[in-house]
Each structure stands twice: as structure tokens, then as C-alpha cells.
Structure 1
Amino acid sequence: MNKQEFISAVNKFDSYTAAEKRIAAYFMDHYTMLPFAKIDELCKQIGVGKATLGRFLQRLGFSGFIQFKKEVSDDLAQTLTTPIERYEYHTHEPSQDTIEGLLANHYQETIDNVDKTFNGLSEQDFKSAMKLMRHTTGKLYVMGSASSEALATYFYLLARYLRKDVVLLKADISTLPHQLVDVSKDDVLLAISYHRYSSITIKLVRWFHECGGHNILVTDQPVNPFVSYCDVQFIVESAGRGFFNNRAAGFALIEAFIKGLSLHQEKDNRFKRIEGLFDEFSVFKS
């Protein structure tokens, strides 16, 4: 069942309860993420019980949520999710943008993503994340795969100024066990992952949770494979009209994390020592 088929089926209902309206609205807003959803978390986010969701799906002709997820997943396998698919699509459907308008359009796209992201963030979630990141008893790990790797590396480089024991994890399955051997319940993982989600990052977040560690997630969809394992989750918009999605809102949130870490009081000696090392190794030219 694709999204349009879902909408058509719902529109054929003679009547709706208030709960069914909430379910339908949520499904339409997050349709591509439903194959990743777990029913308990999904019901919690919508604000309905499992029995209510089950009755709604039965009205659509499904035996339950598992059957519905499978049909949605089978259909979404055909959607445009990769850069090469977008390339092939745009080759046959030329964009209306011109080089003269591209800069202004990209600026507006970026502003829209940042506005929508920060309007949806919770101050309490941010404070909770900062408390975890400043917890110096354990290590602060950071991980991002594919395009998320740039955000993870950026966070790591600046966070090293601000606290000790920041560890950048590389998504290399052959060496990842070596990097994780000392993880304890006092440690925190900042995981950054956009759809299509990295299988390595999914396994890492789940493993960290099973070890008793804490997970902070930055992602682009509220329904995702990580949600059950995270202490705090941040949703960042990444809509983009070209071959690639827009990561500007993610970078803006990472910079907010860095500003939060900057409130840490024991940073002066670290700044001096890092700058001294730059001079020692002649890293920069004046």
C-alpha cells in the first residue's frame, strides 16, 4: 500500500473517531518511516492505545500492524531514496530552477529547515542532553556514517577543546569492537543518522543501550529504528530539492551542543594545551 492508496482508503470511511483522525494524520505525515516503527512507541507518539490502532488497521483491511508494515515496506522499496534514484528521476523531469535562482532557492530551503527544526525542539530535551554530555565520569562517544560522518567529526574536533575523553567512532566494522571494548554504563553516545539509516549505527545504539550506557540521537524522522534505545532524541529537518538532502539544520544543532558544552568550567587548560600543541607541530601558518 502506497501513501495515496492509504489516503484513498481512509477517505472511504463513513465516519471517524477523534483517535482515528489522529492516527490518519500521523501516518500521512510520517508514512515513509512506518516500516521502522514499533507499535508501543508509535501508539505513545500518537496518543492512542494498541487496541485502537488495531481496530483502525482492521478497517483498512489488515489483520494487524505487522501486515500493514510489510505492505508499506514493500511499496517504499520502490520510492526515490538514494542520490542515484534522484539523479535518474531529475534526468527525465528537468528542474524548474535556473542557475540565477538557485542560490536564493537554496537559502530559503535552508532557512525553512532550520526554522522548522528549532521550532520543534524541546528545551528540556536540550538540557537533558547537555547534562549527559557534561557527565565527565564516563566517556563521550560520537558516531555518524555516510553524510552524518561530517557532523560527527565537526562535533568531535570542537568538543575536544571542552572536555576530556571524547571518542570519535569510525564506522569500520572490523575495528569497531576495538574502539568499544572499554564502554561502561557511565558512557554516553551521540549518534547521528539520517534516513537511509546505517545498519552499523543501529547496532551500535542498541548495543550501547544493552550495556547500560546513554544514547543521544540526532536524526530526521521521529519514527526510526533507534527510538526505543535513546534517552534523548532530536529531529532535524533535511528536505532538499536536489540530488542530496540538506544537512544545514543538523549542523546548526551540533553547534548548539558545542555552545552548551562551552559552559563547562574546566576548559581553560585544555584550550591552552591544544593551542600549544598546534604551535609545537606547526599546524597553522600565521
Structure 2
Amino acid sequence: MSEEMLTISDRIQHKLDDLTRAERQLALSILENYPASGLGPLTALAKDADVSVPTVARMVQKLGYKGYPEFQAELREELRAKAKNPIAKHDTWAEAAPSGHMLNRFTEAVIDNIRHTLGQIDPIAFDASCDLAGDTDRHLYIVGGRITHTLAEYLFLHMQVIRPNLTHVQSTSNSWPHYLLNAQEGDVFIIFDVRRYENNTLKLAEMAHARGAKIILFTDQWRSPVHQLATHSFSSRIVVPSAWDSAATTMLLVETMIAAVQNLHWEETKERMEELEDMFDQTRLFRKFT
């Protein structure tokens, strides 16, 4: 993946193992309040991280920038991209639209997003999140927003078949606080939140976290503020030649999680599937051709 495609957060994650103790302290401080943490003066960033000014200058160079001004300029560009509405995103693509059919251009962008995303994901963390999602001793809450509720519904529909003890929560509904009444320490919240991050989703995550719940977050390359509360956070690249962001990479992760959780307790899942199929037969929901 080319350096131009990486966010500053990506660069920091890639370089963590190569940083000195002070530089790592600075890096973690930046990530804790990313991207706002790097928008102030260099001296303010150094003070907030409790490191020296030369430490900031050295780390910025290790990330591939000539100096702090260049680092800040790219950070501001990330913020502009993060805040774009659909019309602004379309205009950006229209200005530099490459030749070729949209099918090819869109597919190439999605494939590139998938490759980049998979290169950033820790398989151990993903497996751990699947273990949490499949643990029937924990109540599972699945939360989506204005657009991402479609991903949440898709995951919930499959998890309903795979395991008991789960709830679908729409953070855009005014009744979502009701669901928190039953949330207990150790329960699991799978939350979807991408750019134009929703205030309701963050508040729900804060309250669930305060009750001792585990949070698994599916977000974008800029990361929802919910990531600071998440036990596991998975960032997908979502930019495509469209006024809308792409859910293709996130859907790939969701379907992979479904497959993984399904296999964790296959015998129990198989029994649930067989029972459900029997119900379908009784209700004649689906047409049979034999």
C-alpha cells in the first residue's frame, strides 16, 4: 500500500514498534484524541503528551514528514475529508474522475479498500471479538445508525439463528436507553459507526461502557470517537468514486464474523438451524419445488 493512501493514524500504527519510549508515549497521546490532538501548536502537543519538543519533531520525521507544518497540513486534510457531506464527496470525485466504465472504477476502489483494510487488521483481535460475539453467557447487543443500521440488521438476522440471548438496538431510535436497563457487566455491544458519526451512538457507547460492557466497533479509516471505549475496533476503508461511502469492506468483515461465530459452537448452531427450517416448513414461508 502506497504511503499516500495511509492516514496519519495508519502511519503511527505501522511505526509503533520502531519508536523510542518517549516517542511511543507521544504516539499514544495523539491516537487517544485523534485527530484533534495534532491541530494545536507543536509545544502544546509536547506538553499534553509530557514529552520534549525535539521528541515531537523526531517522531513527525519518522512518520515521513519534513516537519510539523507538513504533518498538520495532512491532518487538516484528513479532517476535511472526514467531514464531507455526500454532495462534496461527489464533487471531489467528479473533478478527477478517471476514464473507464464506472463498474471498473468502483470495483478497483473496493478491491483496494479491502486489501488496505485487511492489511491493518490484527487476526488475533478479530478472533477475540468473534469469541465475545459467540459467548452465549453474555447478552449480545447489536447497534447501527442512520445508514449502518442495514449492516446491524444483517448481522442481527444471522446471529439470531446462530445463538440466543441477543438484542437489536437502533441508536437513531429515541427508545434506545430502554435497552440499557438490562445491560450488565461483561455483556457485548457490537456497534457500527462511520463518518458523520452520530451523537446518539457515542452516548449509547459511553453508557454501555460505564455499565462494564465490552464494545466491538466497526468504523472507518478515520475512526469513530467510540474507538476510545472499544475493546476491539476494526477500521475499514470506505472511499469510492461516489457521493456515498462504501459498505463493501465492512460487510466483508461482518460476513467473516458470521462465519467464524457460526463455527465456534457448530452443533448448537446446527440444531437451531434445523429447528428454524422446521418452522419455515410449518408456516410454508418459502416455496418448495420438490
TM-score by length of 2: 0.71
Name 1:5's counterpart in structure 2.
Answer: none
Structure 1: distance between partners of 2:82 and 2:234: 25
RMSD: 3.5
Asked if the contact 2:193/2:224 (under 8 Å) is kept, the reply is no
Aligned 1:123-272 pairs, distance under 5 A: 123-221=123-221, 223-263=223-263, 264=265, 265-272=267-274
Structure 2: distance between partners of 1:79 and 1:255: 26
Asked if the contact 1:36/1:225 (under 8 Å) is kept, the reply is no
Q: Secondary structure at the match of 1:233?
A: strand
Structure 2: distance between partners of 1:225 and 1:163: 29
Structure 1: distance between partners of 2:285 and 2:96: 44
Change (3 A) 1:116 1:274: same
Structure 1: distance between partners of 2:79 and 2:153: 31
Structure 2: distance between partners of 1:80 and 1:101: 28
Q: CA deviation at 1:147?
A: 2.3
Name 2:36's counterpart in structure 1.
Answer: 35
Structure 1: distance between partners of 2:133 and 2:82: 37
Name 1:276's counterpart in structure 2.
Answer: 278
Is 1:82 aligned to 2:85, yes or no? Answer: yes
Asked if the contact 1:33/1:224 (under 8 Å) is kept, the reply is no
Name 2:287's counterpart in structure 1.
Answer: 285
Q: Is there any run of 5+ residues in structure 1 with no aligned partner, and where? A: 1-17, 38-48, 61-68
Asked if the contact 2:117/2:236 (under 8 Å) is kept, the reply is yes
CA deviation profile, 1:194-233 (whole Å, cap 9, x unmatched): 1111111111111111000110111113654122211111
Structure 1: distance between partners of 2:52 and 2:253: 34
Change (3 A) 1:222 1:106: closer
Aligned 1:64-75 pairs, distance under 5 A: none
Structure 2: distance between partners of 1:171 and 1:188: 15
Q: CA deviation at 1:243?
A: 0.6
Structure 2: distance between partners of 1:213 and 1:223: 20
Name 1:51's counterpart in structure 2.
Answer: 50
Structure 2: distance between partners of 1:206 and 1:54: 33
Name 1:96's counterpart in structure 2.
Answer: 97
The aligned amino acid for 1:158 is: H
Identity within the alignment, %: 21
Asked if the contact 1:142/1:152 (under 8 Å) is kept, the reply is yes
Asked if the contact 1:137/1:186 (under 8 Å) is kept, the reply is no
Q: CA deviation at 1:33?
A: 5.1
Q: Number of paired residues?
A: 240
CA deviation profile, 1:86-140 (whole Å, cap 9, x unmatched): 34556xx555346x52111111111111111112111110121122112211211
Asked if the contact 1:143/1:190 (under 8 Å) is kept, the reply is yes
- Moved >4 Å (runs of 4+): 53-60, 75-80, 87-90
Structure 2: distance between partners of 1:217 and 1:78: 21
Q: CA deviation at 1:188?
A: 0.3
Q: CA deviation at 1:274?
A: 1.7
Name 1:4's counterpart in structure 2.
Answer: none
Q: Is there any run of 5+ residues in structure 2 with no aligned partner, and where? A: 1-18, 39-47, 61-71
